[in-house]
Every structure is written in structure tokens, then in C-alpha cells.
Structure 1
Amino acid sequence: MHTSVLSGLGQAPIASKYFAHTQVRSDSIKLGKLKDLESAIALYARAVGLTPDGHPDKPSWLINSGCSHLTRFLQLGKLEDLESAIALYARAVELTPDGHPDKPSWLINSGCSHLTRFLQLGKLEDLESAIALHARAVELTPDGHLNKSSHLNNSGNSHLTRFERLGLIEDLESAIKLFTRTAKLIPDGHPSKPGCLNNLANSLSGRYGRTRDLEDLEEAIAHQSRAVDLTPDSHPEKPSRLNNLGTKLQTKFKQSGSLDDLDQAITHKTNAVSLAPEGHPDKPRWMHNLSSSLCTRFNEAGNLPDLEEAIRCSTCSVELLPKNHADRALMLRLLGILFDTRLHSPHAQADDATHAMEAFLGAMQHPNSHPLVRLRACYQYTTLFSEFPHLFTTPPRLALLDAYKYALVLVPRCIWMGNNVRGRYASKELPVIGEMVNNAVTAAISAGEYGLALEWLETGQAVVWSQILQLRTPLDDLRQHHSQLADDLYYVSQALQHAASSPSSSLPSSAEAYKAQPSLEGQAQSSHIYALEYEKLITQIRELDGFKDFLLPKTLSQLTGACASGPVVVLNLHNTRCDALVLSHPDHITLVPLPKFSLTHAVKLLGDLWYILDTRNLRGRFRDSEWHDDNRGQDKLGDGGRHDTMFRVLGDLWNFVVKPILDVPTVTSTTGLPHITWCPTGPLAFLPLHAAGIYRGSRSVETIMDFAVSSYTPTLEALLKPHVQTSSTGDYPQALVVSQPATPGQKRIPQTTKEADIVVSHVGLSTDTLHDSDGTIDAVLDGMETHNWVHLACHGLQDKTDPINSYFALYDGKLTLSTLMSKHLPNADLAVLSACQTATGDENLSEEAVHLAAGMLNVGFKSVIGTMWSISDRSGPIVMAKFYEVLMEQVRAGGELQPAYALHEAMKALRAELGVNKFMEWIPFIHFGL
């Protein structure tokens, strides 16, 4: 816990001239004189009521009245007292001009009251208010002022709290800077020094959790130990500081593995609980933390008394915590884990499963708690259900699929739109969501609920992309019935779109401010307020007649149009089973079990593929000479052993995944070559399904290319765009061709010039070219606005450490995926990305499709040609000559544009030119979308 000016969790620091009054009230409560506090509240209320707003003492009376209500809240826990305190503090701030010497203290009081309510109810609006109020107090307090250190401290507390809630690293760095400034301002021997050290230790420990820099952890433990040593046992903050020291030592145990660290952690936490008086609002949290450490030691050493004491402490923490407290799900979840731990030990008791189930259920259904904690409780509930289904037969227990339905509702709330995209992709929530959705889909398939399985897969696929696209949803229907709400939502959505791809937020403070300053430059307000406003507007809109499903995840009936161009095959891999769900026409889903394939097998195949790519350094575009035979007479792409590995990868994909699907009549029962769109998950998202087959030497025996044309999609929704229709009257598309043969700082790729000439020769006079130095970032982005076809012949790279920094290398710099995310091109049709690694993706985010091809798809392009890994300079012209030849035949014939078929023919041409066994050159070209 963080330390404020006064003791107690979230207790507001009171200006020095009113501190005595508050202390008297606290002592009255301790002495059982509640009637004295009641009298004080009544007297302050009367004083406020009798004092006009213009009176110079009115703010002081409001502050005192707020303090009395806050004191009663801290003692009795009645939320109406906290609400009154917040309102009274706000009114005092409103009536006090900025130049008044007490204004910063009133701001601090107001901010801490909001922080207290956040800790109780978990509403992010309160946290944002606390941060803004505390920052304003620091701004208004001159350096050298007696209260400067306390105001810095409280500002640091609010930032550290937001870091703990949302994981925003910028908040942690702000907290460390603020606490460091505070420590420098407070001399040794000052009574506030231990609290400052406590807070600095907490922030450094938080940074260790992100960076794993042991220096941060050691420094945190040193500061925390000193804070404990400087705090007498009689001090009200001593339990909190002991608890914090125990927590840091337990963190050290996780790193060191030394039971001595864990034993010390338990000793300090035990002392914290022992020193805490009955009724202390933080006692439940300290008991919870002690319980967690005891459980850890039981898992390490197997001593039953540790587990029994952990269950006792955890049970007490739940009983003592108010039922509406934001931490309740956290504590219930730990209680469930403890019962589940004993259930799976030799000391199991008959009712352990029941108690665990009830605890997990209570956690997942608690409305005020962190959605990720609730989602994890859902995961444990469903896991327990699968193991002991006979215990889940009576209310209030949820059936398995009902529990998953409950969990899937939480998914959009776990990745907060107030964070920028980089932060969302780096968050710890995405892997949890992926595993939860995977389990849910598998359960739905096992229950024969194939439509539900598709809906749930869609909910868990490309979560961040879905959020970005949601902000671009047309609002015509809403505007027709509720124009003001539509306008408000539009402006807030615009602000959030800007924030999504920004490294940090720089936004105005309201929709009106956004309209007045559309450039957003120079603004210092946080994007978080926009996310909160967006959530409020969505809630308000869903309460209107006819809009209850507004922007909710799409239902099966809305998704079935995805198969308009041919069957869509959704692949689900789980450690218990692997399946394909084939959506072949709107009212029919076919299950194709894949009993000879497994998640382990998929991981092995992907490992083999990565090995080939890594050992052949296929991480950059190669010139022709670099792909020729080396001086040993062997192909640069691989020796016989590596060819054998690739034969096996492609053969296993054919035998165990693709061929069983092609054997289903609804997949291939069409006139001509059917068009299959693959929607893979897990490791299959990185494996070349479109090239699966049996190959021997330099020939193909049986491959998917003989039976179908392949495309990919990250989501079903990406296939719901209107299809591109062409005209036979010669009205050709407006095409932009970008060629970069000599990009500064990059290897030369001269064949891009030839490639550009090929495109121009086929597409004709409607083509505009940006060659060499003309191909700047701004010119390319501007060109995308005015052309419906875009061809990029340049270097590309998937950034493995920061995927939204993946880029196209242009003449004056990098056009990154994060920049593309801010674009919206509703009239775009086709993007051809003749560059390396444009569809590589991040193996740690397999469900998110974080690559340039997906970026172009989500910007608005309906069809995208991308590359799974690096390509050779010689391949581009061969592929593009055939691709545009076939594509323009389609244009001249009129009707629906089919880039997937054009690429299919181009792949056949490249294989014929190079040889089918040159796998690494022809396989990487793939098609996304329609």
C-alpha cells in the first residue's frame, strides 16, 4: 500500500490547519464516542448551510465538513459518507481561486477522496480525477513550500495506483520521479521520511516487475527495510510497511529460490496482521497477502499447517472485506485456489471442490473488480467444472457453456481502449484471453454448438484490431435518431483513433475541445478520459430503443456472409483436440475433426519452419546473387537435410490438416477451382497451409494448389466488406506504384524498377508512380488516399521486439504499422506488398495478426497480397507479371475482382520458372481478404 499524508488506505491528507479537528474525531471513534462525530457532522453541515458562497470562510467549512464525512466513512464504511466528502471537497475547490494559499491542499483532499472511492469501487473515472487533481495541486505549489513534498507524494500515489490497475509504464516512471523528488525534499529524521521511502520502494518494485532489473528490486528492499526500521510499532502505518516489505521479499524469493527469503516474507506479513487493529480497513488485504505467501511455502515445502493457515487467513479476509469492494474478486479467487490446492493434495477434504467452485463463481460475478481477475476466475471455474462435472448441477452454479458465455462478455473489457496500441499488445491480458477463448471454443465444439464456437472464436481473434475498427463504425442509423449522441461518439472515437497509434497521449480534455482543435497538437490531456467517455456513451446508447446490441460482438447470423466468395475454414487447436469448422454457406457449418493432428505437432512443425528461416537468414530481401548456388554447389536456401524438413512440414500439413478438409464435399463441390479462405489460430497462423502437399525431389505429387485457391483472413468480419466489382468498359482502377531500388541505408534491390514497369504496362495510363526519391512517407500516405490500388515494391521488416514498429522502408524513413493504424481508407480495394515479411506476424501474439498485411486490410483494403518471410529480388517481377496479367483479364471481363485466383496463377508461374523445390522463394506470397 502507498502512504499518504495521513495514515490509512486511501485516507485523504488534510491541510495542516484542520489536521487537529480530524484527529479529535478519530480519537472519539476509538473511544466509542460516535455521537461526538455525529455532532461534528451536523454542526459543520449547519455552518456550510448558513455561509453564503461568496464568504471567504465557506471553502474552509466545506473542507471540514468533508473531512468529518470522510472520517466516518473510514470508520464505518458507509459509501454515502464518501460520496458526501467528494461533493464537499469539489465544492470547496470550485469556490477557491487559484491564487489562494489553501487551494493546493483542497485539491489534494479532493483527489484523495476520489482515489479512496476508486479503491472501493474500481471506477476508472475516479482514478483519472485523482491524477488530474493531484497534478494541479503540484503545479500550484511553489518549490520550497512546506507542503510541496506531500503534494508530490500524493501525485506519485495516484500514478502508482493507475500503473497497478492498468499497467501503463509511463505511470510507473512518473511515480518514481515524483517519489524521488519527494525523498530529496524530506530530510532524515522528518516523520514523513518513512512514508516517502515506502512509496519509492513500491514504485521501484513495480519497475522490477516489468524490467526484471535486480538493481531495482534490491534498492526497493533497502528502502522498504529502512522505512520499517524508522517506523515505531505504535505507528498506524507500521503494519502496512511490514506487509510491503514481506511482499518484496516474496518477489525476491521468486527470483532467488531461497526459502529464507520466503520465511522472512511470511514473518513480516504475520507481524503486519498481528499489529493491525480490529476494524482496520486494510486488514483484509494484509491477511490476503499473508495467505498468498503461506500457499507459496506449502507448494514449496508441502507443510500442511501452512495450507491450513492460508485457508483460514483467506477466509477471514473475504469475510472482513465489504461486499462491494473492488478487491473482492481477487480475494475470492485466492480462496478458490487454496481450496483447489488442498483438493489436489493428499489432504483433500470432501467439500474442497464445492468451496473452490463457490469462491471462483463469486469472483467471476463480482461487478466492481478488475475484469482480468474475473476472467481468470472464470478460467479456474471452468477448469474445475471439467474435472468435477457432478458437483455443478444445482444453482447458483453455472453450466460449463454458460460460464464461458459469462467469461466472453468480459473479454472486450480486459484490453482497455484508453491505452495506446503498443501498450495493449504488450499487456499480460492478451495471452490469458487467448487461452480462455481457446478453451471456450473447444468446449462449444465438444457440445455440438458450432455456431457458438464461431462466435467465440471471432470474439477472441484480433482483439486490438477489432477495437480500432469499432471506432470507425458508421453512425448513420444512430445519427438519424439521436444526432447529438452520434456527434459526441464520433468526436470521441476520432480522439481515440489518434491515441491508438501514438506513443503517448496528447489529447484535448473534451469532445468540444477536439472540435475546436482538430489537429490535437500541443495538447497534454490523457487519452484515458476519452476511453471513459466512450464507454459511457456506448452504455447510454445501448439503453435506447432499437440500440441494445449497438457495437456488441457480431452474432453468427451477421458473420455467415463471410463465405460469399467460398468456404471459410476456421481452425481451432487445443491440447485435447483439433478441429476445423467449415462455413460453406450461410446456414451450414461443418465440423471436420482432425484426430491425427495435435497442438504439440503444430508447435513442432512451426519450430522446424523457424529453424529453416533462421539458419538461412531469411530476414531481409535478397539480391539475385545471394540466392544462387554457393561454392559448394548447393542452393543458398538449404541443403538436402533442410529440404527434407520442408518436405515433412508441407507433407504433415497436407496429410493431417488440409486433405481431411478437402475430402469434405461442401468444401470442393463447386464448378471450377474452389476458393478456400483459411482462418487459422495458434501455431497454424504461421504455417503455409496454402502450400501443403506431397513433394518428391523437384516435383509435386499431390498438393492443395491442384484442388483449391487459398486465401487467409485474421477474422470473419474482415470478409464482410463489399466485394470489388470491375467494369468491362475500360474504366480501369486508379493505381499507385511505389518502387525503391536504392533506399538510403538499405540493400539495393534494382529489380523493383522492373517490377514497377510491369505493373504500369499492365494497368495502363491510370497508374501513378513514386520512384526512388519520390517515394517518401508523406507522398505514399497521400497517394493511398486517392488510389484504390496500391503496389509497394520495397524493403519490409517485421519488428520482433515491437511488432507495431514493423515497417516499409521508404526513401525518407520507415512507414510503420503504427502509422498505418491511424489511417482509414474506405474506398481502397487492393494492396500488393512486394516486400519482405509483410505477413510474418508475432509468434507471441498468434491470434492478433500484428503485421503489415493485416494493417492494410484493417486500414480498408479489401484484398492484400503479402509475404510470410523474406523474398528474393528475382521473384518479384516473375510473380507480378503473371499476377497483373490475370488480374487485368478479370478487369476487362467485368464482374467480381478475384486477386486470389490471380496470385494462384502467379505462384504456378514462379514454380515453373524456379522449380517446385525452391520452396522458400515461392511459398511466402499469400493473399488476405476477398
Structure 2
Amino acid sequence: MAGLSNRSDGGAQLHELAAGHAQRWLADSDVAALRAAIDLLERAVAATPVGHERLVHRLLSLFLLLRDHFEFSSAAADLDRTIEAGEQLVAAMPTYHASWDRCLNDVASVLVWRYDRALDPCDLDHAIELRERVIAQAAPSSFLAHVNTRTAARSEYLGLVNVYARRYNRTGQLADLERIIEIRKLPIAGTALTDPDGPTWMSDLGTAYRSRYHHTGVLADLELGLRLGARAADALADGDPRKTEICHGLGDGYATLFKHDRSLVTLGRAIEFLELAVSMLPDDHADWSSAASYLAGLYGMRFDRSEKLADAKRAADLGEQALAAIAAEHPDLAVTLSRVGVAHLNLFSKTREPSYVKRAVELLEQAARATPADDPRWAGRIANVGMAYRGRFEVGGIPTSPEQLRTLAGHITEATNAFPSEQVRARYEVGSLAHALNEHGLAVELLDSAVALLPPAVPWEAGWQDQEGQIGRYPHLVGVGVAAHCAHGDPVGAVETAEFGRGLMLADQQNLRADLTELQALRPERANRLRELRARLTPGTSPVMPGPDSSERRGLLSDYHAEVQDIRRLRGFSRFLLPPQLSELRSVADRGPIVLVNSGLWRSDAVLITAENDPILIPLTGLTDEDLRDKVRELLDATGDSSPLTGTLKKRRVLHGILAWLKDTVVAPVLAAMHSAGALSQPTPRMWWMPVGPLSLLPLHAAALDTVVSSYAPTLRALSQARNRPPVSARRQLTVALSRTPGLNDLPGTAEEAASLHANWPGTTVLADEQATAERVLNALTEATWAHFACHAVADLTAPSHGGLQLHDRLLQLPAISALNLPQAELIYLSACSTASRGTRHADESLHLASLFQLAGFRHVIASLWPLDDTVAVAASRAFYDLLPSTPTADEAAFALHRVTQDLRAAHPDRPDLWASLIHSGP
């Protein structure tokens, strides 16, 4: 061969002798001959000059024989010798050698063998390097196009994927998963589903996308993975072993999607695919038990929603059958124990039957013991144990010792490879257990760390729906964290926990608009770089909604976060873009007290915040979480009933009851504390409510109507920002009124609202009916300082981002509103249905029209907690504007709305549904 010398060969005779021994080994499996061949070849290699044309051949023969000897002996020393010879071979073999690609792949495979034994990550790194060199040398498009090379191509690509998968499972590094997706895409480009390998390759790519979803939480990855998997399954016949595996994966994927959309249709799809997979597996198949246990978990999830006994029984029966069939050494034993344990725990949560939680504890403890501490699922297993212990305590009074609690907490800190979402859940579950057992110091420690981990668990690169799904997994976290601080006698910590853990999605948007004046003055290059990144992350009024290949956005966010971290290392900027501490925000209460109201699982409290004194803790002993959730369900049911007779009677009865209950359990003790603190000394005292969780759905202001002028604030930070915006110098009124909306009921009163505003402000810009398109409205908002919307609105209680204002051509959804930046906006009046309503799973996020328009720039927002009567809406808006002075600013808005509410109550004393809905948010 060209490039290899033909100098004197001292190893030729040794090589010939070795070849004879090698032949006897291959023919007769004579181990003595194999060892003799290896000894002679090692001497032949040593005697062969570097660069000699026969050196590569001898090294290759030596490597292959050493590999054979290791497969016979399984000795670690033999494996090391094999790898050493392989390294020499790789170094000596030129890339044009006919066996170069096979050689590198073979050496990579041996490195993986050693990794599987010794778990040295350097072996995986080197194996990846070798296989990447092989792939880089090939031209994928032409390489895969030829049928006669496709089998080899598939083998090489699969080999590289498998090594990356091993490293990802060990380290959890997203970059390895990104590379797996890139590799999985290559065979798809030139392959049809009718090709024998087509369904497999498409399914493999779908699985990779679903894996990336589990790492990042980006829902688009999950949805694309499911579409690819479903196409692959449809292309295969029943009974094909590949279809069994694919259906199993699709069942898992749809179950995960169910956690986002909470749709029983989605869960039904998951069960359908899993039932098909289980039915195609023989009962004695090695995978039957793990598939059956997972299916049991899905039935348990459906029972949690449907409460059908058939689902509960199917879950229990399948789970126990799976455990009876699974072998002790089965690699899925831990996950099977976990799934069946959770199925029993789900049944316990509905039935409170002690036998379920007893069995759950037994299984979940076994699952945790069977899971290595560096497994990414370790934190989730600890979370399940904590949840089971809490259930055992609640139903049977069986406590968990302080030592056990500390052990669980220690295990959580060891789970460094766990997904951020599972780290949050583990800290929440064990922290909640500690709180229930009155170990409040440990509870505060764990729950604070869970709240601190929420931002990485709710990734920016995810779209609104993805973020909602992630946040919806922790509906009680902030409430329990606040309660733990209150139980620990720490009202300051309670307020800061609420401040940090609520409104995360709004805080992300606020950070992208934060004032950089101070940074610009001291480090202009940093300010300019951050400003550039922010501009690229917020293009126009359509937020970037990432897809499965949103690597550019992830890269931008990585650069943005790195820049922010660098700025925090500068002197004087250690808390740059972090939620302000209470000491920095207390001055926002200089115009009236702010009251944080919280209902935890085991206690309820309010915290009174004033500008002059330390926060005051107010125990709310009459408020229970169970009662609160009952009242919220009653309110949502009643206000959603539009029937003219029964709906009216129901609303009247339910609202009267809720207002009386709120006055007794919340308002009375809060007002008493305010009186003691001297916060009610003004003739018309003002206050701001800051409710946590489902409390934010209730009309606290109406229960306090006779004593204070109420406003609402999602967070102290949001209130401070609204108050510190510069006042506007002119009133430029925009009115959007739709008396007719395609596909919806007419609203004849909206025309009257628009006419009234136009009469008082002749220069009003009016967009009515067909003129009120989304594009025109968005453009008009950029010029207006005041805005009035009289139209239909949509509030989606399960996915708030799907809500919005129903305009003539389409729904103006929350993400589009959040992208607005209106520095001159003063007041917006939302005379539409449920514009301040948010779902119970996302109550802490304040994701509704009122909060989003405040984020966009409006200092004052008037909105409604439930659907407005059209006639009352017209009267309320006219009276409100009549009471306001003719000034560009709207600082009297809260007082005007208070007066309007009192007048409406006087006109409709028996109909609180007509007068208690409107609320004010702002300074």
C-alpha cells in the first residue's frame, strides 16, 4: 500500500507461526493454541518496524485474538490488553484501509464492554470519538442510498446512538440527547415506510424526541415523537414484535401527554396502545410483567379521574399479576415496583383505604432500595416514598421518625442526576411530610429549595403550554411552603416564598423588560450585550413557540443566562434580575397595607405587610383547604351555569354563602389585625389582596366592601413596577366593542358602552365589530394610553394560555398579549367575561387577561372574576368612567370601582353575582 514502507521484516516468521496456532484455535477451539498465537503475535508486532506494510495486519490479528481470549476468560486484564492492542491498531491504520471503519467500531465496542464493567466515563468518551470518526468519514446521503450497504450503515449508526445513550443515561447531558436525534434523522431522509427498516427507524426517531421532552419539558418534542411512533405502528402488522415495542412506547408517551392536557381521551389512547402491547406478548414473555405493571398504573390514573371501580380493579389486578411474574433480577424490577406502588397510592388517595397505603409503602420502599443514587429516577422514587409515608400518617397516624426524615432529605441531595422536575417533586413531597409531622425547620429547608428549583424545572425554551404543564405539576407547592414558614414563625420567609414561587411565567417576561439604566452607566458593554439577547428572544408581538428543533432559541437562552450570571458576579449586581427581597419591597405598602392570604394543606394564614413595621402573622384558624376547594368548585359550577332560572338561583345561593364564609374565615381576622396595627385609620382605607392558590378565584374584595377599598396584586414586584412607571401626559382612548362576533351570542350592550365613551371623549379610536381584527387591535394598543374592551372573552381553566379576547377574526390569546410592551399605557377596562379568572392548577401563575395586560404596561386594570351580565356591564362601565376625574392618569380607579360596586349592591342586594365580580389591579 502507498505510504507504508517495505523495510526488513523481523516478525515475518513469528507471524507465520502465529497464523498456524490461530487456525487450530478457530478450527478446534483450542485455548492453548489461542494463547500461543497471541504470544507469537505480540513478539511479531514488537519486531515489526513502525510504518512497515505488515504492521497493521499483525496488529489487527492480535486485537481480534485478544478479543477472543477475553470472551473466553472474562478477565479484566485480558480486556485491558485487548484495548491496548486496539489503540495501537487505530494509531497505525490509515483511513484509506479497507478495514478502517470496522476496526474503529470494533475497538469502540470493546471500550463499551469495559465501561459496562468498570463504569469509567473515559471509555465511553473514547468510544464515541472513534465511532464519530467513522460517521464523519462517510457521506450519509449516498451511504444510506445503496441497498447493499444499508445494513452496515444501520449497524454503525446504531452503534454510535447506543454509546451516546449510555453516556446520557449516566450523566444526563442534553448535548448527548441532541446528538442522538441528529443521528436518528439521517436514515429517515432516504427511507420510505414500506422499506423493511422504515418503521423501525421512524419509531427510533420518535423515541429520541420523547426522551428530549423528558429532559427539557418541551411539549412539541413529545407530540412529534408520538406522531412519528403512531405512523410507524400503523405501518406494521399485528403480531410483529416491533409493533409490540412501539405500542408500549406510545402508551407511555400518551400517558405523559395526559399529564399536560388532562384529557381522558389522551389517557384512553395511552391505555389502548398499552392493552394492544400486552395482548401481543405471551404471558411468559420477559417483558410482559413490566408492560402489565405500567398498564396498571394507567388504569390507576384513569380511576383518579373517573372514579370507576372497574378501572381501580383493573389497575390492582394487573399490577399484582406483574409483580408475581417478574424475575428478581429483571432490569425493570425497580420501575415495576414503583409503578405498582403508585397505582396503590392513587387508589388510596381516592378511597382512604389503609391497606392500599400499606401496600404502597412496602412496594415504594423496595423500589427506592433497588434504584442507584446516580439514577436520574432516584429523586422520583424518594418523592413517592415521602408521599406514601404522608398518606400512612394521615390515615393511620403512623409517624415517620426524625431520623427517617433526615435520611430521605439526605437522599434527595444525593440525586444530582435527577431531572429538575423530579428534584422539585422530591423536595415538595418530603418537605410536605416534614410539615405534616411538625418538623417545620426541615420542611422550610426542603420546600424553599423546591421553590428555588422551579425556574430550571419550567424551561424558558418551552412554549406557554409546556410551561403550564410543568407548573401544573406542583399546584400545592407555594401554599405548603408559605404555610411551613408561618408554622415556623417566619412571616418574612412566607412572603418571600410566595414572591419567588408565584408568577414565574410573568417574571420571565418582566426580566426581559427590566430597566438597565444602572448597568448601562457602569458597564455599558454588558448592558448592550444583554439588550441584544433580549431583543432576539422577544421578536415583535408573536412569542417564539419552539418546535422540536428549537436549538437556536435554546442557544440564545443559554447565552442569556450565562450573561446574567456574569453580571451577578460584578460588584453591586449580586441580585440582578432576582426576585427582590421583602426589605426592598416594603415601601410599596406606603399607600396602604398588603395582605398575603394562604390556605395550606394543614394550616391557613394571612401576612399583613406595611411600610413601617415587620410583617404580622395572622393565623386563619377557620379556613381549611378542604372547605376552600369545596367553595371554589361551587363558585365555578354556579357562575358557569347560564340557565336563566336555575342558574340565577344557584348563583344567588352560592355567592351569598361564599361571601359570608369569606367574611368569617378571612376578612374578619385580617381586618381585626389591620385595626390593631393602625392600618384602618384613614377615612377610606385602601388595601391590596395577594391571595395564594385557589383563594385568588374568590371575591375577597366584596367580603370587605363595607370597610376598605380593595385592589389586587399578583406579586409585590408586579405592584412595585406598576407604581413606578412614569405617569402618562395625555389620554388617548381606544374602545374595542363587538356586538356581533361570528359563532357567538350577540352583545347588544357593547355598542352602548362604545357610544358612551365616545360621547365623553370625542377623540376616541373605536374598533367595532368587523373592524376589530386582531392585527388592528394590536396596532391600536401601541398608540393608546387608555383602552376599553367590550366583547366576549375565553377563560380556559385547565390551560390558561388558550384563553383570550374573542375578536372578529380570531382569539387574541394570552401569549400574544404578553409580548406587548406599552410604556405609556395607563388604564384598561375589560368589560368581558372572566377576564381575571384563572384555573385552579395554575392559580399561582396569575395567567389571565388582567395580569397579562398589566404586564404589557397598563398600570390599572379593571376585570371580572366571572361572566358579566350584559346590562349590568353597561351600567357599571358608564358609572365607573363618570366617577373618574378628567385627567390622563387613573389614580382614582380603585375608589371609583369601589363606589360602583356599592351602588350595584344597593340596586341588586340579593344578586351578589351581579355586583361582586369586578376587581381592580394596580397601584
TM-score (norm 2): 0.79
8 Å Cα contact 1:582/1:591 also seen in 2: yes
> The residue matched to 1:791 in structure 2 has which SS?
strand
1:284 Cα deviation from its structure 2 partner? 5.7
> Which residue in 2 is equivalent to 1:866?
863
Partners in 1 of 2:660 and 2:408 — Cα distance? Answer: 48
> Which residue in 2 is equivalent to 1:714?
714
8 Å Cα contact 1:566/1:675 also seen in 2: yes
> Which residue in 2 is equivalent to 1:661?
670
Q: Quick one: which of 386, 404, 408 aligns to 1:359?
A: 408
8 Å Cα contact 2:687/2:710 also seen in 1: yes
> The residue matched to 1:70 in structure 2 has which SS?
helix
> The residue matched to 2:715 in structure 1 has which SS?
coil
> Which residue in 1 is equivalent to 2:370?
317
Are 1:422 and 2:472 an aligned pair? no
After TM superposition, the structure 1 = structure 2 runs for residues 366-381 of structure 1, keeping only pairs within 5 Å, are 366-381=415-430
1:856 Cα deviation from its structure 2 partner? 0.9
1:351 Cα deviation from its structure 2 partner? 9.1
Letter aligned with residue 416 of structure 2: P
Bigger mean CA deviation after superposition, 380-389 or 853-862: 380-389
8 Å Cα contact 1:108/1:137 also seen in 2: no
Go from structure 1 to structure 2 and tell me whether the alpha carbon gap of 1:133 and 1:691 turns closer, same or farther (over 3 Å shift).
Answer: same
8 Å Cα contact 1:458/1:716 also seen in 2: yes
Could you list the per-position Cα deviations for residues 888-925 of structure 1 after superposition, in whole angstroms to 9, with x for gaps in the alignment?
3454xxx873321232233345456x344443323222
Letter aligned with residue 275 of structure 2: I
Partners in 2 of 1:597 and 1:283 — Cα distance? Answer: 44
8 Å Cα contact 1:437/1:456 also seen in 2: yes
Partners in 1 of 2:780 and 2:74 — Cα distance? Answer: 76
Q: Quick one: which of 895, 915, 926 aligns to 2:919?
A: 926
Aligned length: 834
After TM superposition, the structure 1 = structure 2 runs for residues 270-285 of structure 1, keeping only pairs within 5 Å, are 272-274=326-328, 276=330
Could you list the per-position Cα deviations for residues 38-78 of structure 1 after superposition, in whole angstroms to 9, with x for gaps in the alignment?
23433443344446778887665554443333332233222
> Which residue in 2 is equivalent to 1:7?
none
1:676 Cα deviation from its structure 2 partner? 1.1
> The residue matched to 2:374 in structure 1 has which SS?
coil
8 Å Cα contact 1:795/1:809 also seen in 2: yes
Q: Quick one: which of 603, 609, 619 aligns to 1:593?
A: 619
8 Å Cα contact 1:562/1:719 also seen in 2: yes
> Which residue in 2 is equivalent to 1:577?
603
Letter aligned with residue 513 of structure 2: R
Partners in 2 of 1:916 and 1:302 — Cα distance? Answer: 51
Partners in 2 of 1:862 and 1:360 — Cα distance? Answer: 43
After TM superposition, the structure 1 = structure 2 runs for residues 424-823 of structure 1, keeping only pairs within 5 Å, are 424-427=467-470, 429-432=471-474, 434-475=475-516, 481=523, 483=525, 487=529, 490-491=532-533, 494-495=536-537, 505=547, 509-510=551-552, 538-539=564-565, 542=568, 547-585=573-611, 587-617=613-643, 638=648, 643=652, 645-663=654-672, 664-665=674-675, 666=677, 668-692=679-703, 704-723=704-723, 731-765=729-763, 767-800=764-797, 802-823=799-820
After TM superposition, the structure 1 = structure 2 runs for residues 27-176 of structure 1, keeping only pairs within 5 Å, are 28=70, 31-50=73-92, 62-101=104-143, 107-139=157-189, 141=191, 148-165=198-215, 170-176=220-226
8 Å Cα contact 2:485/2:494 also seen in 1: yes
> Which residue in 2 is equivalent to 1:514?
none
> Which residue in 2 is equivalent to 1:523?
none
Partners in 1 of 2:93 and 2:656 — Cα distance? Answer: 87
Partners in 1 of 2:542 and 2:72 — Cα distance? Answer: 50
Letter aligned with residue 99 of structure 1: S
> The residue matched to 2:478 in structure 1 has which SS?
helix
CA RMSD of the aligned region, Å?
A: 4.3
> Which residue in 2 is equivalent to 1:524?
none
> The residue matched to 2:710 in structure 1 has which SS?
strand
8 Å Cα contact 2:221/2:548 also seen in 1: no
> The residue matched to 1:823 in structure 2 has which SS?
coil
1:385 Cα deviation from its structure 2 partner? 3.1
Letter aligned with residue 919 of structure 1: P
TM-score (norm 1): 0.78
Q: Is there any run of 5+ residues in structure 1 with no aligned partner, and where?
A: 1-17, 232-237, 393-397, 511-526, 618-625, 631-635, 693-703
8 Å Cα contact 1:419/1:500 also seen in 2: no
> The residue matched to 2:861 in structure 1 has which SS?
strand
Go from structure 1 to structure 2 and tell me whether the alpha carbon gap of 1:68 and 1:591 turns closer, same or farther (over 3 Å shift).
Answer: same
Go from structure 1 to structure 2 and tell me whether the alpha carbon gap of 1:263 and 1:482 turns closer, same or farther (over 3 Å shift).
Answer: farther
8 Å Cα contact 2:784/2:825 also seen in 1: yes
Partners in 2 of 1:347 and 1:839 — Cα distance? Answer: 41
1:369 Cα deviation from its structure 2 partner? 0.6
8 Å Cα contact 2:801/2:814 also seen in 1: yes
Letter aligned with residue 810 of structure 2: G
After TM superposition, the structure 1 = structure 2 runs for residues 325-404 of structure 1, keeping only pairs within 5 Å, are 325-334=375-384, 354-355=403-404, 357-386=406-435, 399-404=442-447
Go from structure 1 to structure 2 and tell me whether the alpha carbon gap of 1:741 and 1:459 turns closer, same or farther (over 3 Å shift).
Answer: same
8 Å Cα contact 1:324/1:368 also seen in 2: yes
Letter aligned with residue 422 of structure 2: V
> The residue matched to 2:465 in structure 1 has which SS?
helix
Bigger mean CA deviation after superposition, 452-461 or 55-64: 55-64
Bigger mean CA deviation after superposition, 714-723 or 59-68: 59-68
> The residue matched to 1:441 in structure 2 has which SS?
helix
1:377 Cα deviation from its structure 2 partner? 2.6
Could you list the per-position Cα deviations for residues 249-269 of structure 1 after superposition, in whole angstroms to 9, with x for gaps in the alignment?
454477546768656645545
Letter aligned with residue 660 of structure 1: P
Partners in 1 of 2:506 and 2:140 — Cα distance? Answer: 43
8 Å Cα contact 2:444/2:484 also seen in 1: yes
1:691 Cα deviation from its structure 2 partner? 1.7
Partners in 2 of 1:293 and 1:605 — Cα distance? Answer: 29
> Which residue in 1 is equivalent to 2:449?
406
Letter aligned with residue 853 of structure 2: M
1:779 Cα deviation from its structure 2 partner? 0.6
Could you list the per-position Cα deviations for residues 282-332 of structure 1 after superposition, in whole angstroms to 9, with x for gaps in the alignment?
6765676687789999998959997897488446524xx2x4332232344
8 Å Cα contact 1:125/1:532 also seen in 2: no
Go from structure 1 to structure 2 and tell me whether the alpha carbon gap of 1:266 and 1:45 turns closer, same or farther (over 3 Å shift).
Answer: farther
Could you list the per-position Cα deviations for residues 510-539 of structure 1 after superposition, in whole angstroms to 9, with x for gaps in the alignment?
3xxxxxxxxxxxxxxxx5565556555555
Q: Quick one: which of 203, 218, 226 aligns to 2:280?
A: 226
Partners in 2 of 1:343 and 1:579 — Cα distance? Answer: 23
Partners in 2 of 1:26 and 1:554 — Cα distance? Answer: 65
1:587 Cα deviation from its structure 2 partner? 4.8
> Which residue in 2 is equivalent to 1:519?
none
Q: Is there any run of 5+ residues in structure 2 with no aligned partner, and where?
A: 1-59, 145-152, 304-309
8 Å Cα contact 2:105/2:156 also seen in 1: yes
> The residue matched to 1:721 in structure 2 has which SS?
helix
8 Å Cα contact 1:740/1:811 also seen in 2: yes
> Which residue in 2 is equivalent to 1:878?
875
1:869 Cα deviation from its structure 2 partner? 1.9
Structure number with higher helix proportion: 2
Letter aligned with residue 768 of structure 2: H
> The residue matched to 1:847 in structure 2 has which SS?
helix
Bigger mean CA deviation after superposition, 596-605 or 485-494: 485-494
Go from structure 1 to structure 2 and tell me whether the alpha carbon gap of 1:184 and 1:328 turns closer, same or farther (over 3 Å shift).
Answer: same
8 Å Cα contact 2:595/2:688 also seen in 1: yes
8 Å Cα contact 2:756/2:878 also seen in 1: yes
Letter aligned with residue 898 of structure 1: E
Could you list the per-position Cα deviations for residues 611-661 of structure 1 after superposition, in whole angstroms to 9, with x for gaps in the alignment?
5424454xxxxxxxx8xxx9xxxxx9845x864654443233334322332
Go from structure 1 to structure 2 and tell me whether the alpha carbon gap of 1:785 and 1:243 turns closer, same or farther (over 3 Å shift).
Answer: same
Partners in 2 of 1:418 and 1:910 — Cα distance? Answer: 46
Percent identity at matched positions? 22
1:441 Cα deviation from its structure 2 partner? 1.0
> Which residue in 1 is equivalent to 2:851?
854
